[in-house]
Structure 1
Amino acid sequence: MLKNKLKLVDWQLLIIPVVCIFALSGFFITNSAEARKVLEGIRSFFSHYFSFYYVMIAIVFFGGSVLLAFSKYGKIKLGNGDPEYSSIKWGMMIFTSTMSADIIFYSLSEWMMYSNESFIKNKSGSHLEWALTYSLFHWGPIAWSFYIFLAVAFGYMLYVTKNRKQKFSEACRPILKHKTDGALGKIIDLVAIFSLIAATATTFSMSMPLLAASVGSLLGIKNQQILSLGLLCAVVGVYLVISILGMKAMSRLSIIAFSVFGLLIIYVLLFSGQELFISSLGLRSLGNLVVNFPQMTVITKVNSFTENWTIYYWSYWMVWCVATPFFIGSISKGRTIRNLIFGGYAWGLAGTYLSFIVLSGFGISRQTAGIINAPQLLSNGSTYAEVIIQLLQTLPNYQLVLILLILAMVGLYSTVFDSITMVISKYSYKSLSLENEPSKLMRGFWAVIFIILPIALLFNNDSIYDIQSVAIITAIPTGFVMLLIIASFWKEVRGKQGTDFKN
């Protein structure tokens, strides 16, 4: 029995990434200075000379998804029957499976990161208002277009053409044909696996210090590195329990995580005493985004801000495109392409914009009122996590806020873990039909492997710039595959022009 199961495993796609993870982790830990220098050099090269590449992909995906939704192909139904999940449950699963705990970290800190940027300071009007505007831009329609357009392609592959494999390479079959089953297909799948590893490492390394600082503040624990390690293991433990309980437990955890996340936002909004300031700032920033969206999208002049932030974010979303679109596509059976696109945008933007407007607005309100000087604290050596804790301590009964933040972050980590381990485990098999799921042992194995590189980065004390570099570098080959998948999808769907796709 065990021998038959082992024959199903694609050992090349299992062993090569695992060996590379251990090798990279060892290199980061034992040669931290050299590793930092290598990352900075490669990132600088890609950001400067490949900026047009990232921007081009952003335009293709956002414009292409909107065009597809309004075209006749928007009526295509992904599979037969009614949708498996209600619209509310479906929307919550989309948000919680795509937005990890880093949305809380960035919502509370990104305005600080931008506030000292000369590019933002030179904008006419309030520079803090522009800081929020660029947060809404970087977490807005273009970011979600990467997920949504690919989710359509994967949903179409799973439920319309019914391809027998659930891999990145399989989505390229309309163009690559038999080459999909050869070395080229293997390379594409390895790119996908390495992208997901980079995405996970970036997410955990960026936001875990905030979770550790929150727990440390409540319990009086000062050793943040050991606490981060313990919390990483706790997140894996929660995920493993949910994965054993199955998809029904996953959907329930999504609802719980979304609800706690909502309670956190509501508490901050109502008890900050700045409801009018936050809502006014949010509306003005949204207005700035709408008016300036075209020129912000089509970057004609690359500067340090766009290299460090806009290019980073497009890279960040691109490396996450391996797992999240597959998951969104898999839970969208019975929906039309148009419904998936508009519903995905609606739920995605509602959640991210509400988070940034309220949590960033709260921080900006404290900054403008002189209650806290975040940029000054950061320049004096405080970490972002430490400044965020100080911000939250200005709220009444701030311990309750920290509890909500901890529960929301653990819940979001766990739901994302479920989707990414489900996807990457499928890559570890030679072939896995849609009806079959990876074994719990395989998913548990990848859950443990996924935390190795984040642990190396956390214990290496890498800066945010260094951690971001991992995503920017990995996004180069991922972008090529993404474009190939979209071209394959268009070829496949246009080949069925004579078929009646009406509901």
Structure 2
Amino acid sequence: MQKRSKLDPYVFWPAIAVLLVVTALLVSFQDTVAPLITQALSLITYQMDWVFEFLTFGIFIMLLWFAAGRYGNIRFGNQDELPAFGNFSYGAMLFCAGMGTSIMFWSIIEPMYYYQYPPFQIEGQSAAAAEWALTYGLFHWGVSAWSIYTMPTIVIAYSLYNKGNRSLKISQACKGVLGSKADGWLGRVIDIFVIWSLVGGLGTSLGLGVPMLAAGIGDLFGIEQSTQLSIGIIFIWSVIYLTSATLGLEKGISKLSNINVYLAITLALFVLVVGPTSFLFSYFTDSFGNMAQNFMRMSFYTDPIHKSGFPQDWTVFYWVWFACTAPFLGLFVARISKGRTIKSVIVNMLAWGTLGGWLYFAVMGGYAMHLQLTDVFNVVQSMTDNGNAQTIINVLNTLPMGKIVVLFFVILGFIFLATSLDSASFVLASTASKSAGDGEEPAVWHTIIWGLIMAVLAISLLLIGGLKVVQSSTVIVAVPVLIIYLLLIISILRWLRQDHDLKEQH
């Protein structure tokens, strides 16, 4: 019989109140708030660019040190415990939770932005711009991004399985520094911050995913783009999600993620085979070499002399963005990592996550660039004329059996959104529960409530056009998230030293 954890009223009710009040304020005063949020965002990305670049690179080096050093063999749970999920299911859940519809959207669109507005003062839409276009896509969705995701996972899993902190909460993972304060008001403030950043993160998945699916459905059935269509999409998607959520972690999310990965790989392989195969392999190889050679330059590029804004608008924004959504992925992956070693979690997350992202950028981004360079279809012009969501569908329509590809793409998008919401509701319910120890899951009604709150929020924001404001507002929690990261890093270092170094000395 599945054990169910009890609701934590001190996190649940304040979190709901904060969500409703802040969303209401953001939407009611959109005209005043939007410019303020834009200012705050540019303040964070321009004044703190170096902080986030050093943090990201530092975390990457630290994870390599953990994996290669003597801490790598420490197991989450008992030393003889076997992992709860096989490598494929584990990798599938990692990838679906971490990437979702964002990768379907950006793998086609992002390289085309870099082609038009390249870094390093390169001329837009030139041969050099095309060389850097995929390079930057691979960089932004590669090991640096996944390092940001992996660090909280390690700390939360260690807190849950090795330190006996029964709650699946970020506040508990900061206990190495905060001590008993993590159980008081300070811990609750941290958890409410995490809930806010997660809801905004999901808002972005919706903000990208819903218009893209609406464009696909419009293309297939000749339906006009409308708010009703978007609401219909959220409704169907909620039904898929509710079915999966009621089945729980093992039967629901895990199965849905497996199906998802098979579909995602099938789509990528189809494009690889029927598309310009040789060009796609060649372009990826060249871009990979370019990225490997310039990895340090791209990691620390701030452009203070020319002030193009490229690193702030893209690299720093991405690092901030990933850091804001990372606690969610960390909580989810920690929950499925029992029985794995620190090294296994680091290698799996960095490898599976990066390879999944690269596969999509290499195939979809490469295909879009090939259309552009061979004048088969002007992707850049389509982005200007029809917007990004419609351009993605236009690109897919240039493939053989275009309509079938679009249908496949829409189904994949639906499932991706459902798995994202699935994992998110699970994590939100866990964060607002008293404990989530071994084999414990939040009550089904509790998980479903969070899913419904997300769907209702999404529909309300769509109706009043406030999705953009709420998306941007999550990145404003970047400064508290930065502090949470430092607390997590100090916590894990202290715990490992206490539990392993000091023991060896005695």
> Which sections of structure 1, spanning at least 5 residues, go unmatched?
none
User: Which deviates more from structure 2 when the two are superposed, residues 31-40 or residues 389-398?
Assistant: 31-40
Give the number of aligned pairs. 494
Give the RMSD, CA atoms, in angstroms.
2.3
Q: Confirm whether residue 304 of structure 1 aligns to residue 309 of structure 2.
A: yes
| Code of the aligned partner of 1:55 | E
The TM-score with structure 1 as length reference comes to: 0.92
| Cα distance in 1 for residues equivalent to 2:279 and 2:83 | 40
Q: Confirm whether residue 275 of structure 1 aligns to residue 273 of structure 2.
A: no
- Secondary structure of 1:437's counterpart equals strand
> Which sections of structure 2, spanning at least 5 residues, go unmatched?
none
Q: CA deviation at 1:398?
A: 0.8
Question: Which residue in 1 is equivalent to 2:422?
Answer: 418
CA contact (8 A) 1:201 1:451 kept: no
Q: Confirm whether residue 184 of structure 1 aligns to residue 189 of structure 2.
A: no
Deviations 1:414-451 (A, max 9, x none): 22222211111122223443332111111111112123
Counterparts in 2 of 1:154 and 1:463: CA distance versus 1, 3 Å = closer
Q: CA deviation at 1:292?
A: 0.4
User: Which deviates more from structure 2 when the two are superposed, residues 234-243 or residues 12-21?
Assistant: 12-21
- Secondary structure of 2:500's counterpart equals coil
Match of 1:205 among 204, 207, 231: 207
* Paired residues for 1:73-222 under 5 Å: 73-80=71-78, 81-119=81-119, 122=122, 126-222=128-224
CA contact (8 A) 2:153 2:331 kept: yes
| Code of the aligned partner of 2:66 | L
Q: CA deviation at 1:121?
A: 6.1
Q: CA deviation at 1:162?
A: 2.1
Counterparts in 2 of 1:46 and 1:300: CA distance versus 1, 3 Å = closer
Deviations 1:90-138 (A, max 9, x none): 1112111221111101111111222221536617952122111111111
CA contact (8 A) 1:189 1:427 kept: yes
Match of 2:14 among 13, 16, 20: 16
Q: CA deviation at 1:469?
A: 2.7
Counterparts in 2 of 1:500 and 1:262: CA distance versus 1, 3 Å = farther
Q: Confirm whether residue 353 of structure 1 aligns to residue 358 of structure 2.
A: yes
The TM-score with structure 2 as length reference comes to: 0.92
- Secondary structure of 2:168's counterpart equals coil
Q: CA deviation at 1:479?
A: 1.8
| Code of the aligned partner of 2:54 | M
CA contact (8 A) 1:143 1:314 kept: yes
Q: CA deviation at 1:206?
A: 2.0
CA contact (8 A) 1:115 1:121 kept: no
CA contact (8 A) 1:263 1:404 kept: no
| Cα distance in 1 for residues equivalent to 2:435 and 2:346 | 29
Q: CA deviation at 1:193?
A: 1.0
Deviations 1:174-230 (A, max 9, x none): 111111112211111111111111211122112221111111111221133221221
| Code of the aligned partner of 2:346 | I
CA contact (8 A) 1:112 1:374 kept: yes
| Code of the aligned partner of 1:280 | S
Counterparts in 2 of 1:457 and 1:275: CA distance versus 1, 3 Å = farther
Question: Which residue in 1 is equivalent to 2:268?
Answer: 265
* Paired residues for 1:404-483 under 5 Å: 404-461=408-465, 469-483=472-486
Q: Confirm whether residue 334 of structure 1 aligns to residue 352 of structure 2.
A: no
User: Which deviates more from structure 2 when the two are superposed, residues 123-132 or residues 238-247?
Assistant: 123-132
- Secondary structure of 1:203's counterpart equals helix
Counterparts in 2 of 1:488 and 1:460: CA distance versus 1, 3 Å = same
Deviations 1:441-485 (A, max 9, x none): 111111121234444554455797x67633431222112102211
| Code of the aligned partner of 1:374 | V
CA contact (8 A) 1:165 1:432 kept: yes
CA contact (8 A) 1:65 1:341 kept: yes
Match of 1:294 among 278, 293, 296: 296
| Code of the aligned partner of 1:353 | W
* Paired residues for 1:31-46 under 5 Å: 31-46=29-44
| Cα distance in 2 for residues equivalent to 1:6 and 1:164 | 13
| Code of the aligned partner of 2:400 | P
Counterparts in 2 of 1:297 and 1:108: CA distance versus 1, 3 Å = same
